[in-house]
A and B are shown apart, each in its own frame.
Chain A
Amino acid sequence: MIYLDYNATTPLHPRVLEVMLPFLQEKWGNPSSPYRFGNEARGAIERSRKRIAGYFGCKPCELVFCSSGTEADNLALRGVVHALKGKGNHIITSVIEHHAVLNTCKALEGEGFRVTYLPVTDNGVVEVAELEKVLDDETILVSVMHANNETGVVQPVEDIAALTREHGIIFHVDAVQTIGKLPRRIAELGADLITISGHKFYGPKGTAALYVRQGVPLGAVTTGGRQEHNLRAGTENVAGIVGFAEAVSLAFESVEAEGQRLRELRDRFEKQILALVPGVRINGAQASRVPNTSNMTFASVDGESIVLGMDLNGICISTGSACSTGDPEPSHVLRAMGISAREAQGSVRISLGRSTQETDIEAALMALKAVVERLRGISSIDGNGQSR
């Protein structure tokens, strides 16, 4: 199998598994227990928190461990707007956010909050000027992702942070797709709340953290015990947190070299696919992107058919669209970039990772060319640049 869907998830790094095992086997105490066996687990959590804070450039107490990026996004959005309900009811986000943010905003609209969804340029970038236009006295929260999961396009979060700070508005960044891909210390983004998720950078699934800048008003979403500074009740995932810290360490150790390697592979892949196959467009290519992601539109074929065709060749890639999961609407991200519904339907994403080698890229190119040519041979739509 050739796996080219690292934006969906990544395998556990052996070093991560190694540090986790003792906390699954011998040191399985409850961190909240009063005896030394429990203290051992508590110590591991706090050491992990401190370790991560070192890499992020924040204080340990500014990190809240959660179970997923989605949970962290929910805590950020719901936690802030409920804490600031008396101050205003306006939320600003963008049309290209992950469903963890979009559907949470939809739910908050149901609770009476007003939500503005910022558009993006044809290259998939949220413009600060657009944000400036819709800020008002009622605005209490802005949430914009660091890099888009489908296109890899990086958003100007530092500029947005400068603007929200000036206006005293809380700013949340979903940075799930950038840890280990961009060499930035999280705290330097200037945001008030930042979501990160372990399984996107070789950590365990079921681990995530929300960075909460000290002083940011936040109400708990999960109620129960006093874990995680009263912000996230529930017995901590001790082994997961220990593994998560190891994964953060790995991500920061290798981000520059690995980023450079993946960028070269990705750029070569794109250059070759454009040369090999007519009627291909790279989406977001003019914008700044994370180095591992490529989103392509193939004229007159369906993305899900490409994905199955590739799967039958032993290669895992994904569509931008969620049609395969029962939602027939083509990618909301590509549609927001002015791409027609039909073109969005013909889009696929490849995302590279640690195990990706040049031979994988070569194999993917050849398979992709063959699959697309075959599908075009049976397509009822002309216009792929080939005569038929």
Chain B
Amino acid sequence: MTVKNDNINVDPGELSGPVLYYNEIVIDHFLNPRNVGELEPDEKDGFCLVGDPFCGDQMKLWISVRSGRIAKIAFKSFGCPGAIATSSMLTTLAEGKTIEQAKLISDDDVIEALGGIPENKRHCSLLGVRALLAAICDYEQRRTEQE
């Protein structure tokens, strides 16, 4: 997706050199990330810690599941602005969704909701998606063990 700003008004493919620019939505999620933190012990139904082997970013994600829906979600992130913003947006997309709906959230969904991110930051959005899937997997595994 194209990310434009007033200074550089060309498509990413036409850029002659490196540029890094985040739009206002991304900057908002970087400055005010949603659902940051940890869940209470009795709410932690699923958890995962994932790392991005591509750039060294790392994140933790917790979900609380009630009646088959993601009732609460929380994350912590060590990473670039792209990683923080995409993780934040992912949590807003996942919140309230059923487990099956949440599994379908893709990196493209996250990027679209953010109004685009720089091309070289696309991989950041995968980290959150992977984290959510892994936390859901953890939740399902725990439930199986309980049964």
B139 / chain A contacts, CB cutoff of 8 Å: none
**With a CB–CB cut-off of 8 A, which chain A residues contact B63?**
none
Q: Is the CB of A330 within 8 A of B33?
A: no
Q: Interface digits, B72-94 against A, CB 8 Å rule (1 contact, 0 not)? A: 00011111110110000000000
The B interface, classified by DSSP as helix, strand, loop or mixed, is mixed
**B residues near A323, Cβ cutoff 8 Å:** 55, 80
A324 in complex: contacting residue of B20, B31, B33, B75, CB < 8 Å: B20
**Contact of A380 (CB < 8 Å), options: B27, B33, B78, B80:** B78
Q: What residues of chain A lie closer than 8 Å to B27, measured between beta carbons?
A: 308, 312
Looking at the assembled complex, report how far the CB atom of B118 sits from the nearest CB atom of chain A, in whole angstroms.
Answer: 9
Shortest CB-to-CB span from A345 to chain B, Å, is 5
Q: Which of A300, A302, A325 lies in contact with B20, CB distance below 8 A?
A: A325
Q: How far is the CA of A300 from the CA of B81 in the complex (A)?
A: 14
Q: Name the CB-closest residue of B to A376.
A: B78
Number of A-B contacts (CB under 8 A): 59
Q: A381 at the A/B interface (Cβ < 8 Å)?
A: yes
A304 lies within 8 A of chain B by Cβ: yes
Q: How far is the CB of B23 from chain A (nearest CB, A)?
A: 12
Interchain CA distance A203-B30 in the complex, whole Å: 37
The answer for the CA separation of A379 and B20 in the assembled complex, in Å, is: 22
A378 touches B84 (CB 8 A): yes
A277-318: which have CB < 8 Å to B?
300-302, 304-305, 308, 312
Quick one: given A312-B27, A325-B18, A325-B20, are A330 and B84 in contact (CB under 8 Å)?
no
Quick check: B76 and A302 within 8 Å, CB to CB?
no
Nearest CB of B to A280, in Å: 16
Minimum CB–CB distance for B42 against chain A, Å: 20
A378 touching B18, Cβ below 8 Å: no
From A300, A305, A325, A341, B56 is in contact (CB under 8 Å) with A341
Q: How far is the CA of A326 from the CA of B78 in the complex (A)?
A: 18
Contact with B along A352-388 (1 / 0, CB 8 A): 0000000000000000000000000111110000000
**Are A324 and B78 in contact, CB atoms less than 8 angstroms apart?**
no
**Residue among B27, B31, B80, B83 with most chain A CB within 10 A:** B80
How far, in Å, is B112 (CB) from chain A's closest CB?
22
Q: With A and B bound together, what is the CA distance between A288 and B57 in angstroms?
A: 33
Q: Is B135 an interface residue (CB 8 A)?
A: no
Known: A305-B30, A380-B49. A328 touches B78 (CB 8 A): no
Known: A308-B30, A325-B18, A325-B20. A379 touches B76 (CB 8 A): yes
**B120 in the interface (beta carbon within 8 A):** yes
Q: Count residues of chain B with CB under 8 A from any CB of chain A.
A: 27
Interchain CB contact under 8 A, B80 and A304: yes
Contacts of A226 in B (CB 8 A): none
Judged by a CB distance under 8 angstroms, whether A167 is at the interface is no
Chain B residue at minimum C-beta to C-beta distance from A308: B81
Q: Is A342 an interface residue (CB 8 A)?
A: yes
Q: Are B30 and A328 in contact (CB under 8 A)?
A: no
Cα–Cα distance between A2 and B10 once the two chains are bound (Å): 28
Cβ-closest chain A residue relative to B50: A380
Given the contacts A324-B18, A326-B120, A381-B78, A302 and B33 also touching, CB distance less than 8 Å = no
CB <8 Å contact, B60 and A380: yes
Q: Give 1 or 0 for each of A325-357: 1 = CB within 8 Å of chain B CB.
A: 110101000000000011001000000000000
CB B21 to nearest CB in A, in angstroms, measures 10
A328 contacts across to B, CB distance below 8 A:
54-56
> Does A380 lie within 8 Å of B77, measured CB to CB?
yes
CB distance A380 to B58 under 8 Å?
A: yes
Residues from chain B with Cβ under 8 Å of A380 in the complex: 49, 58-60, 75-78
Identity of the chain B residue whose Cβ is nearest the Cβ of A303 in the assembled complex: B80
Most buried by B among A302, A312, A324, A379: A302
In-complex Cβ contact of A302 among B18, B22, B57, B120 (8 A) = B57
B20: chain A residues within 8 A (beta carbon): 304, 324-325
Within 8 Å CB of A308, what residues of B?
Answer: 22, 27, 30, 81
A70 to chain B, nearest CB (A): 13
- Tell me the chain B residues, 1-56 only, with Cβ under 8 Å from chain A: 18, 20, 22, 27, 30-31, 33, 36, 49, 54-56
B75: chain A residues within 8 A (beta carbon) = 380
Residue of B20, B75, B81 with most partner-chain A CB within 10 A: B81
- Are the CB atoms of B36 and A381 closer together than 8 Å? no
Cα distance A91–B54 when bound, in Å?
31
A–B pairs, 14, beta carbons within 8 Å: A305-B79, A305-B81, A305-B84, A308-B22, A308-B30, A308-B81, A323-B80, A326-B120, A328-B55, A341-B56, A378-B76, A379-B77, A380-B60, A380-B77
* A→B interface (CB under 8 Å): 300-302, 304-305, 308, 312, 323-326, 328, 330, 341-342, 345, 377-381
Query: Which 3 A-B pairs have CB atoms at the shortest separation, nearest pair first?
Result: A325-B18, A328-B55, A326-B120
